[in-house]
Structure 1
């Protein structure tokens, strides 16, 4: 199972240091043997813009994959975003993976759309069409006609490193999201709290792929999971509770009803990750539960020691 990590791009996490220290964090992620470095996307909290962060990480790394988890495409101009993604793919030598989402109802959804002046309604259809437009641009299409975007003449686009463009994954686990993942996307990046739900969701994705005439194995089964390794379960939960309150304004007890968590001693965290591996996950992206960059670095080292023996 491939193990990746999220870069701590939130300003609260690096403000006591320097944003440039995130470059060193990216280098250490590669040195420790992790498979990928991912970045979050949000307009509701100050953070380094995700595609800017990946562009900065690309030239200082050589092997590790670079990803978004999840980018919110409908909040951006689609043609310019396609060019930016192709540019990062070129600068990284074809190491980019683009996981996308359409935001969720409630406190974190509608305000994002209001800030971006994009309608909330039909956001999923808009997302699918935006990704289709990216792929058309990367393939050299001369025109594009859709419900939300129509261009009688498209300019020459920046070509990605790979002719087909970077793989595009979908985040989400509703029945509609599972169906769309199987039919249209290259990977699945959910965060179900129960590994059993991962198993049933993955089977639904693969069945949708079969129904669409695709190979089920063409969809990468990934997992977004919050991780905290500590001396005890209690210590890990206390720190993660502070982390979820800082990030979401929600206690851990509420957040763990909707997201995946692996908390506790190294053995406990390893056991949780093993359950998701048994459920079918093959690429895990860990968001480290730490409130500052020093603790993030410590968690990075602990996770490396747990999942990549001999990485130090």
Structure 2
């Protein structure tokens, strides 16, 4: 079991007087506390530290943690230049990069961003898959690429990533179509279903698609994106929900009741959170990307330590369940 944390790179998550330069120290603290990965998200909707810039700052400041995106939106960037940037990050981190990608969503989290990027909304999933295929071709030394949407000739020599073939690329998405595409084309799956049963059935679909495409089921890393708040001593679950509601409204502009119908959200005492996350581990999740439901860097650090206290028990649960759920080889995670 790998347990990572999403860094609070958005300004909506900061408190008065918070210094964004503290995020590098936050990442180092997470590594020392036992987290195995540091993730950042990507958007133009609200002000934030740009995702790949944040990872570049973390690469020399950390030693062993995976550095990842959850999720990168490739349509915001030129595809050839992005391949170069990702290869450079893989080099600077010594092969610790993992790239989870997404195509955006309808409404304010999707189509307006395509308009800003001057990229058509139509065929966005095909464009995403072709972009990833282009990256992989360039990382392998190709000087041309001919897809249905993206076509390039005479591409100059690209920077070679640290690992042959480049960093693993995961897909963020929980629809049946996304599950099938993950199994056929991607190295990992990063959804956020509220119900562990839905995660289990989705993972089965991913693995079925993988074997149908001639791949091994265990070649696809089963990950989960989940928002977590561990309540303080003496604080009841309602208190934790109030804090998460404030977080949801500040970050998403929606109440918690609406957010948790869409995304996995867990709050309660340490034991309650451990039990709920264990259900996802039993459903097959082997890399948790935890978003800390707190506002202000001080509160984020407090939640970081509370979640870190759960790591040994969660890893023990995953180890006990390992015979039933194939373990992805470590080199696809690191």
Return the offset for 1:12.
2.8
In structure 1, distance between residues paired with 2:240 and 2:67: 28
| 1:302 matched to 2:288 | no
Please point out which of 287, 294, 297 is paired with 1:293: 297
| 1:5 matched to 2:10 | no
Higher mean alpha-carbon deviation, 94-103 vs 145-154, is at 145-154
Q: Which position in structure 2 is the counterpart of 1:186?
A: 187
Return the offset for 1:13.
2.6
Aligned pairs for 1:30-109 within 5 A: 30-109=31-110
Q: Is the 8 A contact 2:194 2:265 kept in 1?
A: yes
Partner SS, residue 160 of structure 1: coil
Q: Is the 8 A contact 1:241 1:252 kept in 2?
A: yes
Q: Is the 8 A contact 2:208 2:217 kept in 1?
A: yes
Q: TM-score scaled to structure 2, two decimals?
A: 0.91
Aligned pairs for 1:22-37 within 5 A: 22-37=23-38
In structure 2, distance between residues paired with 1:152 and 1:144: 7
Q: Is the 8 A contact 1:32 1:308 kept in 2?
A: no
In structure 1, distance between residues paired with 2:80 and 2:236: 49
| CA-to-aligned-CA distance 1:130-157 (integer Å, 9 cap, x gap) | 0000000000002111122111211100
In structure 2, distance between residues paired with 1:255 and 1:107: 15
In structure 2, distance between residues paired with 1:152 and 1:159: 18
In structure 2, distance between residues paired with 1:112 and 1:17: 28
Q: Which position in structure 2 is the counterpart of 1:221?
A: 222
Show structure 1 runs of 5+ residues with no match. Answer: none
Partner SS, residue 170 of structure 2: strand
| 1:14 matched to 2:14 | yes
Q: CA RMSD in A?
A: 0.9
| CA-to-aligned-CA distance 1:33-87 (integer Å, 9 cap, x gap) | 1010000100010000000000000001001100000000122100110000011
Partner SS, residue 156 of structure 1: coil
Show structure 2 runs of 5+ residues with no match. Answer: 314-334
| 1:275 matched to 2:279 | yes
Q: How many residues align?
A: 309
In structure 2, distance between residues paired with 1:252 and 1:65: 30
Aligned pairs for 1:260-271 within 5 A: 260-271=264-275
Q: Is the 8 A contact 2:12 2:251 kept in 1?
A: no
In structure 1, distance between residues paired with 2:31 and 2:74: 27
| CA-to-aligned-CA distance 1:222-257 (integer Å, 9 cap, x gap) | 000000001321111000001111111110000100
Partner SS, residue 38 of structure 2: strand
Q: Is the 8 A contact 2:34 2:311 kept in 1?
A: no
| CA-to-aligned-CA distance 1:93-118 (integer Å, 9 cap, x gap) | 00000000000112211111111111
Q: Which position in structure 1 is the counterpart of 2:260?
A: 256
Higher mean alpha-carbon deviation, 64-73 vs 5-14, is at 5-14
**Runs of at least 4 residues off by over 3 Å:** none
In structure 1, distance between residues paired with 2:83 and 2:63: 23
In structure 1, distance between residues paired with 2:271 and 2:153: 58
